[in-house]
């Protein structure tokens, strides 16, 4: 059912909204005043606007409970704007006009409730974050060094759009002046270095296979998928938007093989796609919290099984204690930073090490390993 905007619904008209609506309003207000405040003035204003409209909150309630979060609903609205289906909202976003965007978001939500809910239900929200390669590059190169590999096959688990699979095709500059990767790549990333230990200067060997695994992989060459990736970013974050565009364009020049399915089930197939003379390097970046602990352990078991026939490496960038077998260095769980893990499976023996710490998904990086 498509709902039409009612007079007076775009502003606070509540007399005594039910408890559950008040809770939803608080979630949106908190998102606007705290989460989005520092990063997106537009989303801050829109979220607060939605929190003040009972009609908008009721429309959001048409979505299943786990799909009512502001990141999901704002991305769904943004998707409609980018698709040309919500022109007033698109115009307000283009003008970076928070007041107009809040009004247009409410109007769109009421007019197109069904469409917003359908997108929210169909599409898992993405972080939209890119740039993980600043963390991955030195760790994957270290994996290749330790196993003496002259060629590697990358397998990214929980790959989303598979942007990590271009780790060898980007350029990275570290705060200490060191650069890795391709200085002429259209994708240039940067990371500040924490601590005294230098980031290893070793280049990656040739990448001969790129395989992504996800329950819901996104194909950057598919216009709907590409639009959804864009929709998951706030419209007033030009640097992030530009970086995503560059990374998508780079990925589109040599799209990876995307395997849809549960990682534990699909991993053997992915490993089989890596030529015998290349080292399979499995990567996970901030993906494992979505996996039940049992699945994480089964994934480890799969890698162990594969290592009967050939060495396999696993590079992880995950919160403290999230990646099984990777040391936590005594750091507290949920302390805000992440551990860069390197696990080497060779003849069914596992050597797992924490080779670094990183903050803000790799914007700061401390290298720890001897290399």
Ligand X SMILES: C[S@@+](CC[C@H](N)C(=O)[O-])C[C@H]1O[C@@H](n2cnc3c(N)ncnc32)[C@H](O)[C@@H]1O
> Which residues lie near ligand X (CB under 6 A)?
124, 127, 129, 132, 158, 160, 213-216, 262-263, 285-287, 290-291, 295
**SS3 label, residue 314:** strand
Q: Please enumerate in sequence order all residues whose Cβ is within 8 A of that of 164, keeping only pairs 6 or more positions apart, or say none.
A: 132, 133, 136, 154, 156, 212, 283, 285
CB nearer to ligand X: pick between 112 and 313: 313
Give 264-288 as a DSSP string.
HHHHHHHHHTS-TTSEEEEEEES-G
CB nearer to ligand X: pick between 109 and 251: 251
CB nearer to ligand X: pick between 215 and 308: 215
Spatial distance between the Cα atoms of 330 and 333, rounded to a whole number of angstroms: 9
Shortest reach from residue 165's CB to ligand X, in Å: 11
How many angstroms from the chain centroid is the CA of residue 201? Answer: 26
Shortest reach from residue 277's CB to ligand X, in Å: 27
Residues 297/304, Cβ–Cβ less than 8 Å: no
Shortest reach from residue 234's CB to ligand X, in Å: 16
| φ/ψ bin of 23: left (φ > 0), alpha (ψ from -120 to 50), beta (otherwise) | alpha
Please, which residues bridge with residue 155 across strands?
211, 282
CB nearer to ligand X: pick between 200 and 319: 319
CB nearer to ligand X: pick between 334 and 349: 334
Shortest reach from residue 158's CB to ligand X, in Å: 3
Q: Which residue number places its CB atom closest to ligand X? A: 158
Shortest reach from residue 57's CB to ligand X, in Å: 27
Shortest reach from residue 160's CB to ligand X, in Å: 4
CB nearer to ligand X: pick between 228 and 286: 286
Give 92-105 as a DSSP string.
HHHTT-HHHHHHHH
């Amino acid at each position: 059912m498509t709902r039409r905007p009612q007079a007076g619904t775009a502003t606070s008209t509540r007399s005594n909204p039910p408890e559950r609506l008040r809770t939803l309003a608080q979630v949106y207000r908190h998102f606007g005043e705290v989460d989005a405040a520092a990063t997106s003035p537009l989303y801050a204003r829109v979220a607060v606007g939605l929190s003040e409209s009972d009609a908008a909150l009721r429309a959001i309630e048409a979505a299943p409970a786990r799909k009512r979060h502001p990141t999901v609903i704002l991305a769904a609205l943004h998707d409609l704007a980018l698709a040309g289906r919500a022109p007033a909202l698109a115009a307000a976003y283009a003008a970076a006009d928070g007041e107009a965007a809040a009004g247009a978001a409410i109007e769109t939500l009421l007019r197109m409730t069904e469409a917003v809910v359908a997108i929210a239900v169909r599409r898992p929200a993405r972080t939209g974050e890119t740039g993980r390669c600043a963390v991955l590059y030195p760790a994957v190169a270290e994996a290749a060094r330790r196993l003496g590999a002259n060629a590697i096959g990358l397998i990214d688990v929980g790959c989303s759009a598979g942007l990590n699979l271009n780790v060898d095709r980007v350029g990275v500059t570290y705060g200490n002046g060191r650069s890795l990767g391709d200085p002429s790549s259209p994708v240039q990333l940067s990371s500040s270095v924490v601590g005294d230990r230098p980031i290893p200067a070793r280049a990656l060997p040739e990448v001969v296979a790129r395989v992504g695994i996800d329950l819901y992989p996104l194909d950057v060459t598919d216009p709907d998928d590409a639009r959804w990736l864009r929709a998951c970013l706030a419209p007033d974050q030009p640097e992030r938007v530009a970086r995503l565009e560059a990374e998508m364009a780079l990925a589109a020049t040599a799209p990876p093989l995307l395997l849809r399915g549960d990682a534990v089930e699909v991993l053997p197939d992915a490993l089989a796609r890596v030529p015998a003379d290349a080292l399979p390097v499995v990567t996970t970046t901030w993906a494992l919290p979505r996996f039940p602990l049992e699945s994480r352990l089964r994934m480890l078991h799969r890698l162990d099984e594969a290592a009967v026939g050939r060495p396999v490496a696993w590079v992880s960038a995950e919160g403290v204690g999230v990646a099984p077998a990777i040391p936590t260095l005594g750091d507290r769980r949920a302390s805000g930073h992440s551990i860069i893990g390197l696990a080497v499976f060779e003849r069914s023996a596992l050597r797992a090490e924490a080779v670094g710490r990183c903050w803000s998904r790799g914007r700061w990086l401390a290298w720890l390993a001897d290399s």
